A and B are shown apart, each in its own frame.
Chain A
Amino acid sequence: MNTKLIIGIARSLLLARWRQTLVAAIGVTFSIAMFITLLSFMNGLNDLLDGLILNRTPHVRLYNEIKPSLDQPINRAAEFRNSHNFISSIKSGITRQEIYNSGPIMQALRQDARVLGVAPKLTAQVFFNEGTIDITGVINGIDVEEESRLFNFRDYVTAGNALDAKNTANSIILGKGLAEILAADVGDVVQVTTAQGERFPLKVVGYFQSGIQEIDKVQSYASIGTTQKLLGKPANYITDIQVKLHDLETAPAVGKEFAQTFDIDAEDIQTANSQFETGSNIRSLISYSVGVVLLIVAGFGIFNILNMMIYEKMDSIAIMKATGFSGSDVNRIFLVIALSIGVFGGAVGLVFGFLFSVIIDNIPFNTAALPTIKTYPINYSPVFYLIGGTFSVITTYFAGFFPARKASRVDPVEIIRGK
């Protein structure tokens, strides 16, 4: 068809009123830029807050829960199988926290294609002795290298070197809050009393800062070997196996499967941290709504300007119709005008959105709570750009749709007679 001619006419009409065109395009540019910036920033923030907990949380945690056995002896007795058995005051039996066959289980997990990595862990409840005061605390025995690889442990060690916990015998990395209470510097020795009543001197090789005060006041880390020694347990004693999967979403299903296969308790990340997901979703929802509202406002701007343009161009429309342009030709001319404002304004908006994001990404943001963060977080996901671009075209199309339809219905006789 005569697409070229129609685009040419649309172009001339646009350029003849380039100031108006520019205002309309700037409206789109501004809203798209804001849309991109807002979403990038909001999602960067979401990722940051999620990362604070989720990156450090295993996707599936395998452990032995201390709880009463569901399988009480009376239920196994053949003569009572068909009766309702009421048992009161059930106590937990002598279950051990230790994971049986931890070595083979970990080996099996490492060979599973869905598993990104496995890190063993054991915890010891201790008292830190500061003069006459005892401070309760938890020592986590970890495999420093695996922990760093899977859960970014090294990022949170703000002073000293994480690897020293592995390389130095009888060493500990204290939580920042705990270190302040104990007034312990790196290189100092702290006294620890275990639940069994034994005293151990441990050398402080670093500080750990998670960003969550409650954790930093209680938690500290040592190598698995050191912790096993504290507890007086053999080298295969492990209470937790932390599994990181390739796909976070599969955690609940995989967790259930592991629990069955290894006859063990499993907790998945979704169950453990459901509140984070809720928060993220709501924040995303808010930013998307604000973005969409911005675009709709820009759409009304275009609608207004096109409407005005049609009143101004009544004569031109009439003469075009008189000289052989049909209603649908006129309709397409005005749609092309609307869409080119949308495409051009939208494209510039995407560029500006990216620039604003880069600027925000470079604004310093230092907070004691977040040791790894130096600037404001930004998520540069191309999805936002895709949504923004698509939306700018769609809104401008609808903004142009009604004015264009009106233009196509202009009756040339009325205009020409009306003079």
Chain B
Amino acid sequence: MSDIILEARHINKKFHDPVTVQVLTDITFSVNKGEFVSVIGKSGCGKSTLLYILSTMDTDYEGELLIDRDLMTGRTDRELANIRNEKIGFVFQFHYLLNEFTVLRNVMLPGLKLQKYTEQEVEHRAMERLKMLGVDHLANKLAYRISGGEKQRVAIARALINDPHIIMGDEPTGNLDKRNSDVVFNIFKELTEVHNQTLLIVTHDSGFAESSGRIIEMEDGRIIRH
């Protein structure tokens, strides 16, 4: 059996406002190292909600979440922030780069926060990742001056800066045209195949999902296929 990176045990989630609605029911699954997992399902089936719980940003749930075999449930805000910083990379549908900073600085920020490497080293690592994603020529541009596809690649570079255990994506191609979607998909594919990177991507693009290694399908807050 290979290394388990992420494990969800009996996760339940309810929304209380305005009326109590059960969004997730008894979610139990695990992700192994190097897997490329897509989570699919109809709108409102709870896949995004699940992703935010798995990413430790949402702490209001029942059940247990383990990342790298460590229990995440019940940790403090600061501990979770450090775990997100070190072990999880994010790619969102909207690129969410910080407009006040250059592309390079955006990629560097989580690395600087981690304080594992010196600033020069972080900068070097950031350039490596930008180069790998083919956007190194944009390094010194301000983040809002580059195109959507480029932004998403920069966001992936940022997600990779601290060599995370797992990269999570919430519809990372949802806001991109076909060509850019393919570019991003190929990057993901390369990351798993060449760098053995674990990926957990929420999408409703079935073509995208079919090409990934494993599909988790959800319906009405339950996993119906994995």
Contacts and interface: CB of A to CB of B under 8 A. Distances in A.
Interface string B67-84: 000000000011011101
B185 interface: no
B99 A323 contact: no
A329 interface: yes
A329 B77 CA distance: 11
B20 interface: no
Nearest to A415: B96
A326 B94 contact: no
A417 B52 contact: yes
A325 interface: yes
Interface stretch (B112-120, B208-216, B218-226): B112-120
B100 A324 contact: no
B158 A316 contact: no
Contacts of B109: 5, 9, 320, 323
Interface residues of A, number: 26
A325 B81 contact: yes
B110 A324 contact: yes
A324 B93 contact: no
A329 B97 CA distance: 18
Interface string B24-54: 0000000000000000000000001000100
Contacts of B93: 419
Interface string A1-33: 010010001001101100000000000000000
A201 interface: no
Contact of B96 (A315, A325, A328, A417): A315
Contact of B98 (A316, A327, A412, A413): A316
Given A13-B100, A316-B100, A413-B57, A322 B84 contact: yes
Nearest to B109: A323
A85 to B, nearest CB: 86
Contacts of A319: 92, 96-98
A416 interface: yes
A16 B110 contact: no
Interface residues of B, number: 32
A330 to B, nearest CB: 10
A329 B81 contact: yes
B150 interface: no
Nearest to A6: B113
Contacts of A416: 52, 92, 94, 96, 170
Contacts of A15: 100
B12 interface: no
B100, B105, B115, most chain A CB atoms within 10 A: B100
B78 to A, nearest CB: 4
Nearest to B55: A322
A321 interface: yes
B58 interface: yes
Contact of A5 (B55, B90, B100, B113): B113
B58 A323 contact: no
A5 B80 CA distance: 19
Contacts of A16: 99-100
A324 B94 CA distance: 18
Interface in A290-333: 315-316, 318-329
Contacts of A419: 93-94
Interface in A321-358: 321-329
A-B pairs, 6 with minimum CB distance:
A324-B85, A326-B81, A16-B100, A319-B96, A326-B78, A323-B110
Given A327-B81, A413-B52, 15 more contacts: A9-B109, A13-B100, A319-B98, A320-B98, A322-B55, A322-B84, A323-B90, A324-B85, A324-B86, A324-B114, A326-B77, A326-B78, A416-B94, A416-B170, A417-B52
11 contacts: A12-B101, A12-B105, A316-B100, A319-B96, A320-B98, A320-B109, A323-B109, A323-B110, A325-B81, A413-B52, A419-B94
Interface of B: 48, 52, 55, 57-58, 77-78, 80-82, 84-86, 90, 92-94, 96-101, 105, 109-110, 112-115, 158, 170
